[in-house]
Amino acid sequence: MRGYRSIIAVAVILALIPLVVTSNLWLNIAFTALLACLLGQGWNILGGYAGQFSFGHAVFFGTGAYVTAIVMTTTGINPWAAFVLGIGGGALVGAAIGFLVFRYGLRGSYFALVTLAFAEVFRVLANTMAITGGGSGLVVASNLRPEIFQQTSRLGAYAVAAVLVVGVLFITRALENSRTGAYFVAIRENEDAARALGVDPFGFKLRAIVLSAAITAMGGALYVQVFPYIDAPLMYGPRYSVEALLVPIIGGMGTVFGPLLGAVVLHLLAEAATMVTGDIAGLNLVLYGLVLVLMVRFLPRGLIGLFDPRVPKARLPLPRIAGRRRREAGDA
């Protein structure tokens, strides 16, 4: 049960929040934070654990949303089934992209740019093809069935999102305790060394991107259930790609709770900023950019790095390390 108790504690806190927070406005904020958390949890598997930074995670988010919406509007299928199909669609896209990209050994910045290009290709396709509704998007509201899954009340949406987030926390912890998780980290730290020790980087990176894509697609499938209108610039555009990577970077990449912490902090900050400045288009995202630059500059291990002694401290600026070495030398 190593490390699962803290997840149960988080689950209890998430369950208690609706008792304190009852206004629809705040439940809505809590829901958006949890949605961002799901995206970030997905990104974290691939970026945080396996070390492959994606700049186009919207490709999975959007696919999850579009598959769910298309299946629901064309077949009138049970929304739960559509939800599962949406996740499957995202995972499939993840497998296809992962196969191509890792097969040809793209790493680092190249991997980031190629994922961004894939997201752009999907955006243009979704914007032109008939099945996705082209430029006018898709409306799924016509067959809203709240008794099954689609959430008309904000409380229901929050509850579903909270359950999913806790579920992914468990998955992430299980991954962390598993051999697969250890291989992911080995590849992140030094791919060539991992290969020399017998780890198959291609196979494990592929597994990482499929799991990552499935979780992020789950966020998209959830989005459709709550906001029944989608269009290509939003679903496949840069906004969710940025949110997916920002959230674990703020909280702490490669940690179980990093994305959750990052999502909560980011959305509280964004709300506070909106209250101060009023609703000026763009200022919210300026904050996103500023937070990104400041985190990478000063806290590359994220907020969790400040609290968790098990997470190695960020690479400190050189003079301080030199100072510590000197002190250690003096002790000896």
Partner 1 sequence: MFSAFILVPAILNGLMTGAVYALIALGLTLIYGVLHIINFAHGALLMAAMFAAYFAHELLGFDPYLAILPVTAAFFAIGYLLQRFVITPSSHGKDENILLVTLGISIILENLALAFFQADTRTIDTPYAFEIVDLDIAFLPLPRVIAFFAALGVALALFAIMRFTDLGRAIRAVAKEKRGAELVGIDVKHIYAMTFGLGIACVAIAACLLLPNYYVNPQVGNAFVLVAFTIVVLGGMGSVTGALIGGLIIGLVESFGGLFLGESLGQIGIFLIFIIMLLFRPSGLFGQRA
Binding positions for partner 1, rule: CB under 8 A: 53, 55, 100-101, 104, 106, 108-110, 112-114, 116-118, 120-121, 124-125, 127-128, 238, 242, 245, 249, 280-286, 288-293, 296-297, 300, 314-315
Residue 78 CB, shortest distance to partner 1, in Å, is 34
- Plot region of 315 (φ>0 → left; ψ -120 to 50 → alpha; else → beta): beta
Residue 41 CB, shortest distance to partner 1, in Å, is 19
Distance CA 36, CA 32 (A): 6
By beta-carbon proximity to partner 1, the closer residue of 219 and 248 is: 248
Question: Who contacts 273 (Cβ-Cβ below 8 Å, separation ≥6)?
Answer: 283, 284, 287
CB count in 10 Å sphere of residue 39: 31
By beta-carbon proximity to partner 1, the closer residue of 282 and 309 is: 282
**Cα–Cα distances in Å, from 159 out to 35, 79, 149, 155, 166?**
12, 16, 11, 6, 11
Residue 314 CB, shortest distance to partner 1, in Å, is 8
DSSP 8-state symbol, 228: -
Residue 97 CB, shortest distance to partner 1, in Å, is 10
By beta-carbon proximity to partner 1, the closer residue of 87 and 101 is: 101
By beta-carbon proximity to partner 1, the closer residue of 120 and 170 is: 120
Residue 83 CB, shortest distance to partner 1, in Å, is 29
Residue 276 CB, shortest distance to partner 1, in Å, is 13
DSSP secondary structure of 161-223: HHHHHHHHHHHHHHHHHSHHHHHHHHHHH-HHHHHHTT--HHHHHHHHHHHHHHHHHHHHHHH
By beta-carbon proximity to partner 1, the closer residue of 2 and 297 is: 297
By beta-carbon proximity to partner 1, the closer residue of 33 and 250 is: 250
By beta-carbon proximity to partner 1, the closer residue of 194 and 246 is: 246
Question: Who contacts 93 (Cβ-Cβ below 8 Å, separation ≥6)?
Answer: 59, 60, 63, 213, 217
> Among residues 236, 309, 302, which one has the least CA distance to residue 266?
302
Question: Residue 65 in 3-state DSSP?
Answer: helix
DSSP secondary structure of 95-119: HHHHHHHHHTT--HHHHHHHHHHHH
Residue 8 CB, shortest distance to partner 1, in Å, is 33
By beta-carbon proximity to partner 1, the closer residue of 121 and 139 is: 121
Residue 227 CB, shortest distance to partner 1, in Å, is 21
